[in-house]
Chains A and B, each alone.
Chain A
Amino acid sequence: MSCNCCGKDQEKYQQLQAVIDAKKGTKGALMPVMQEAQSIFGYLPKEVQLFIAEGLGVTLSEVFGVATFYAQFVLEPQGEHVIGVCLGTACYVKGSQAVLDRLSEELDVPVGKTTKDGKFTLNATRCLGACGLAPVMMIGDEVYGRLTPDEIPAILAKY
């Protein structure tokens, strides 16, 4: 993965390499290496996971399994505000998919990703436990209920 070791990331990869060299061969090396990697990069993109897999001689699928098992790991750079649109049954029935689609359109970002300016991360979530307010979304800690797609631009304008 030498192709990643260029530009401003070079230093970060060197740091990670040092961590891998120190931990390689020890039992249970994967978790600590991944934790270090996340603190170096802020999140764990595919390239970093590949780098870890090759460095430790494990498969990408093992690294990814751990990354998705523990909530402490994030796979995407997180925006300043994290939006979660509920796609639980109640919200889905009340049209939350349309809300999600509208957000994706307004922010010009696919679900699960962060906007180019780093301001918003758009996620779909499971039931948020506020089904009475369906369809529901959260921005940070703020809950928005009984949403219609047309309300979205005004809400976004607040941030």
Chain B
Amino acid sequence: MDLVTLTIDGIKVQVPAGTTVLEAARSANIQIPTLCYLKDVNQIGACRMCLVDTGARALAAACVMPVSEGMVVKTNTPAVREARKVNMELLLSNHDRKCLTCVRSKNCELQTLAEELGVRDVRFEGAMSSHPIDDSSLSIVRDPGKCIQCRRCVAVCHKVQKVGVIGTVGRGFNTVIAPAFDEKLGDVGCINCGQCIMACPVGALREKDSTEEVWKAIGDPAKHVVVQPAPAVRVALGEEFGMPMGTRVTGKLAAALRRMGFDKIFDTNYGADVTIMEEGTELLNRIQNGGVLPMITSCSPGWIKYIEHYYPEFLPNLSSCKSPHEMLGAIIKSYYAEKNHIDPKDIYVVSVMPCVAKKFEAKRPELGNGELKDVDAVITTRELARMIKEAGIDFVNLPDEDFDPLMGESTGAAAIFGATGGVMEAALRTVADILEGKDLDAIEYTAVRGIEGVKEATVTVAGKEIKLAVANGTGNAEILMEKMKRGEADYTFIEVMGCPGGCVTGGGQPIVPARERMVTDPRVVRAKAIYEEDAAMAERKSHKNASVQKLYDEYLGKPNSHKAHELLHTHYVDRSGK
């Protein structure tokens, strides 16, 4: 690789040719401010916050300026500082600057930067553009008054997720980031993945807040409020309290939920183990009885909405399994309710999810029994953190506690649902045992791990070859769907997670600022914690979960039984409008 030597602020730096000045400076620990730049996603030189002096007449945008041999860069001159400050003040002059009541306060790149640039006054007070807030979506709120038009969301939606339902509309002062033809986000083909929220540096995109309704339920003595956190929550929640990325906080999570006043602390991981029993059995049935193959996983509601909109011809390939938290919700309102003589109407199920698409999912009419929803409210990891703070709980110093018995018990197979490839691996652990008829020791299917967009593998189980594919992010799922369209996909089983990296970096997780994403990949760091969680479990195969066995013995009979179908399986809707 060709190396280029340049000088930045008097420091000699050697980097590969093609590196940008921004990245070169980063490698020398020099921080250049950025707003529109997002590593691997958006590099458009729009915000002019990263201006540096390269000796040329005009200042240059470091995020799009490639290095050249002998280049002399100054990142901290009076002209540079003043230009950045002026740009910031211009942005702020048309910004709804109500930090005190903004959900992103203290994790806002605009706020951080204004503070760091030493902006103490906005010299250009002028007209404010006024585009209304769009809260039509069940998952996402768009607030153009806070938008700085960095277009990071547009890049993610178009290039990473390949959905492309939001874009730049209009020009100049009137520009707004919105769906085409003044449509509302809730009415277009948005899949609710929330990856745009994760990309947004400010409070212009955020989840639809459900914390109030959850507090209300907790405060209602007539309600039996049951909570269940998803696998990926426990490897990320700590970040909201200043703990390093990748810290596992499973015990503190259970303790915090108990202190918040929930009546029962169950675990979506239990639902994940049940999912494997149902989905594994479904897969075996399809293989043995000539069912529709490849079978595709159905736990990710962003992915489900994507296939419903864009590839409805493959809906028969989707597993009919509900997602784990919906399964657990249905079990709580039937088996658990009967066992404990509680009227299911008095039970209120709260799911804590790394996901905003689950908010939409929970309101699907097919997920419940008429008025009785499987899940009553979904809050994200971020919302849970806000509630814990509001309750005055000192999270970092909490003791480790356990989930409540029965539906708080889970295995390592469930833990790995949180990372891309995890559902596939968990299913293989169980399917292989069933087909081989023994308790296999080799349970780590590392070929399906890792953050590569599309992973393919062939595993041999009981002398049979099974071809597998795993995609994370709908942009990668598109590759597999196109392959299927061309008749080139001879897989047996496909796992798709709607978000890049899987649930660990889902749209409801703690938001990592662009600056940190330059040096740390949360998909990798959080996934590492997920696999540690797995390795630490006493049982690592779903069918070894004693409480799940009990559920089948006492209530459901066998996996895929009539009763199991009624409670744990669902159907899908063609939303293509064709």
Chain A contact residues, CB within 8 Å of chain B: 46, 49, 59-65, 68-70, 89, 126
Contact with A along B90-126 (1 / 0, CB 8 A): 0000000000000000000000000000000000000
Task: State how many angstroms separate the Cβ of A113 from the closest Cβ of chain B.
Answer: 13
Q: How far is the CA of A59 from the CA of B158 in the complex (A)?
A: 8
B145 contacts A by Cβ under 8 Å: no
Q: For residues 143 through 200 of chain B, which have their beta carbon under 8 Å from a beta carbon of chain A?
A: 154, 158, 164-171, 174, 179-181
Using Cβ atoms and an 8 Å threshold, which residues of chain B touch A61? 154, 158, 164-167, 179-180
With the chains together, A147 CA to B169 CA distance in Å?
A: 32
Q: Would you call A64 and B180 a contact (CB within 8 A)?
A: yes
Q: A61-B164, A64-B167, A68-B171 are in contact. List 13 more A-B contacts (CB 8 A).
A: A46-B181, A49-B180, A59-B158, A59-B164, A59-B165, A60-B164, A60-B180, A61-B166, A61-B179, A65-B168, A68-B170, A69-B171, A126-B174
- Residues of chain A within 8 A (CB-CB) of B169 are 64-65, 68
**Bound state CA distance, A63 and B164, in angstroms?**
11
Are the C-beta atoms of A69 and B180 separated by less than 8 Å?
Answer: no
C-alpha spacing A62/B168, complex, angstroms = 8
Residues of A within 8 Å of B180, CB to CB, are 46, 49, 60-61, 63-65
CA distance A59 to B168 in the complex (A): 12
**Residues of chain A lying within 8 A (CB to CB) of residue B167:** 59, 61-62, 64-65
The residues of B that contact A89 with a CB separation of less than 8 Å are 127
- Smallest Cβ-Cβ distance to A45: which chain B residue: B181
Residues of B within 8 A of A60 (CB): 164, 180
Which residues of chain B are within 8 angstroms of A69 by Cβ–Cβ distance?
168, 170-171
With contact pairs A68-B170, A69-B168, A69-B170 given, residues A62 and B158 touching in the complex (Cβ less than 8 Å): yes
Per the bound structure, the CA–CA distance linking A126 and B173 in Å amounts to: 11
- 10 tightest A-B CB contacts, nearest first: A59-B164, A61-B167, A64-B180, A65-B167, A65-B168, A69-B171, A68-B170, A60-B180, A61-B180, A68-B169
- Complex Cα gap A49–B181 (Å): 10
Residues of the A chain whose Cβ atoms lie less than 8 Å from the Cβ of B181: 46, 64
Residue of B nearest to A112 (CB): B182
> Who on chain A is nearest to B167 by CB?
A61
Q: Which residues from B are CB-within-8-Å of A62? A: 158, 164, 167
- One digit per residue, 1 when the CB lies within 8 angstroms of any chain A CB and 0 when it does not, for chain B 451-487 equals 0000000000000000000000000000000000000
Query: Can you report 26 residue pairs joining A to B where beta carbons are below 8 Å apart?
Result: A46-B181, A49-B180, A59-B158, A59-B164, A59-B165, A59-B167, A60-B180, A61-B158, A61-B165, A61-B166, A61-B167, A61-B179, A62-B158, A62-B164, A62-B167, A64-B167, A64-B180, A64-B181, A65-B167, A65-B168, A65-B169, A65-B180, A68-B170, A69-B168, A69-B171, A89-B127
